[in-house]
Amino acid sequence: MNGASGNGASDGVGASRRESVLQRRLSLADMLDLPSFVEVVRSFSELYRVGIKVLDTAGDKLADVKVGHGDFCSYVFGFPEGRSRCTATVARVKDGPVAPVQGAWPARGDGAEAAGIIALPCFTGLRYLVMPVCWEGDKLGRVILGPFTPEELADFPPSLTDISGVDLSRAHELVARVRRVPERTAAQVLVHFGQVLAALVASGQRAFLTTQLHIEAMLETHRDLEANNARLAQANIRLKELDRLKSTFLGTVSHELRTPLASIIGYSEMLAEGLAGALNPEQLLYVRTIVEKGESLLNLISSILDLSQIEAGRLRLVMGPVDLGSVIQTAVSSVAPQAQRKGVELEVRMPPLPQPRLAADADKLRQVVVNLLANAVKFTSSGGRVSVVMSEATAQNELAAPGYRVSVEDTGMGIREDQFENIFQSFYQVDGSSTREHGGAGLGLAIVKSLVEGHGGRVSVESEFGRGSRFTVVLPLQPPLSEHGGFSALAPTPSSSGHDRF
């Protein structure tokens, strides 16, 4: 609630928000385009040769056109008595009540009464007509027509003639320039003007309210968006914190899991080797199964630990001269038993080079090739083939530097193109269903990507769905130094996020 009784704390407008234009009372000036309105008033005045003034409720002039009476009024105004009487008349016309009181009477003429027009005499015998400007029950101002010479005026009244010094013949000469018109006609002109004014106010109000509301709506929408942005930014900060906690947790838990698991595997191996006495064939088979499953579990946990360290930015690369050929050979031999069991052919194609050397972390590089090979074998069915192809050390477009290119190709199930981006993300599985055929934690390729990029290299995938895939790793001969001087595997970044430029 607004206004004098205002106790509207519970029911007013939100303090943070600006009061809408719809809650405001509009003034006449709000609803009129003043320059074009002044033009309308001028053309009206010139057409009827009578002056028109339009005032708002505060008494400010919105339009003021003088026609004909200027010289006469100035002449009369030049005498002290004339001046005081003129001032009193003008005050009554401009500020007095628009009602048939204080010397005014209801103007004669069609529609004059409905429009509330009053007639006011000037001490010179001239006359004014004053019409209130009403809009939706509110008075917004007044329109003053005149002064004009009423048709019945034969001679000047005593209130002019008794002013000492007035030359009546000069006054007659000047008053002849003032329009002589019956009050009735003047009232009709004013009624007509009122209709034009109402039409202008109606369209002006509409234009004013709609533009103002348009602006308010935009500001309101902007406010909403800002609030949403702030909420999203908060959520983002929270998510990043959770992500960091997750990496730390995974690292800690993986470490805690590895220690007892190493004991389980160690004691099982001792059992299998007969250190605690001979085992019968069945017992031996069981114990070997324990060792085998324990090792695959240990691999999985190591992957998780690697990734959590990569994500925490803590996996350091130890660079040294590496023979890429022997790295590949070692990797191939470590997946060979797997491939053999599955009936997948393993093939290595290398250029006949003595010791293809580059600077890298040999262990991590082997892990890259092993991961790619293990994946290829996993997704290739019996009778298929997995090949490792190594290029010579040549200029590599991806790196704008010389380097090696290692491709791992398979004849397996392939990958749909729309999955190419996703498969390098941690925990991502192309087949995410619980009934999927192939195991794994979905960490292998994420680790590959981080390690390769940590070497300043690139990894990419090509595939024809159903026909096979090719993963290509490009490695520079010499990895570029990172900002802080050391080498570390790069934490995976969300694919769509850009880096700050400045």
Q: Tokens 């729309």 label which residue?
A: 418
Smallest distance, Å, CB 2 to another protein? Answer: 5
Q: Which of 20, 302, 330, 425 binds another protein (CB under 8 A)?
A: 20
Binding-site residue total for another protein (CB under 8 A)? 34
**Choice between 168 and 199, CB closer to another protein:** 199
The H-or-E segment that residue 181 falls in is strand 180-181
Under the binding rule (CB under 8 A), the answer on residue 196 touching another protein is: no
Under the binding rule (CB under 8 A), the answer on residue 27 touching another protein is: no
Which residues are within 8 A (CB) of 62 and not within 5 positions of it... i.e. 6 or more apart?
28, 29, 32, 34, 37, 38, 54, 55, 56, 141
Piece of the chain touching another protein by CB under 8 A; list 20-28, 68-76, 159-167, 361-369:
20-28
Under the binding rule (CB under 8 A), the answer on residue 33 touching another protein is: no
b/e code 143-167 from CB counts within 10 Å (16+ = b): bbbbbbbbeebeebeebbeebeebe
Cβ neighbours, 10 Å, residue 376: 27
With 0-12 / 13-18 / 19 or more C-beta atoms within 10 angstroms meaning exposed / middle / buried, residue 460 is middle
Beta-ladder partners of 139? 134
DSSP of 394-410, one letter per residue? Answer: EEETTTTEEEEEEEEEE
Under the binding rule (CB under 8 A), the answer on residue 391 touching another protein is: no
Under the binding rule (CB under 8 A), the answer on residue 99 touching another protein is: no
**Choice between 64 and 216, CB closer to another protein:** 216
Smallest distance, Å, CB 27 to another protein? Answer: 14
Among the listed residues 249, 32, 233, 289, the one whose alpha carbon sits nearest the alpha carbon of residue 143? 32
Q: Which of 2, 161, 326, 381 binds another protein (CB under 8 A)?
A: 2
Q: Which of 34, 47, 91, 217 binds another protein (CB under 8 A)?
A: 217
Rounded Cα distance between 492 and 227, Å, is 30
* Alpha-carbon dihedral sign for residues 482, 483, 488, 493: negative
Under the binding rule (CB under 8 A), the answer on residue 236 touching another protein is: no
Under the binding rule (CB under 8 A), the answer on residue 205 touching another protein is: yes
Piece of the chain touching another protein by CB under 8 A; list 1-9, 141-149, 170-178, 463-471:
1-9
Under the binding rule (CB under 8 A), the answer on residue 210 touching another protein is: yes
**Choice between 114 and 400, CB closer to another protein:** 114
Rounded Cα distance between 47 and 65, Å, is 12
Under the binding rule (CB under 8 A), the answer on residue 221 touching another protein is: yes
**What's phi and psi for 455, nearest 5 deg?**
-90, 5
The H-or-E segment that residue 73 falls in is helix 70-77
Q: Which of 83, 206, 246, 349 binds another protein (CB under 8 A)?
A: 206
Range 129-168, binding another protein (CB under 8 A): 135-138
Q: Which positions touch another protein (CB under 8 A)? A: 1-7, 10-14, 17, 19-20, 22-23, 135-138, 202, 205-206, 209-210, 213-214, 216-218, 220-221, 224
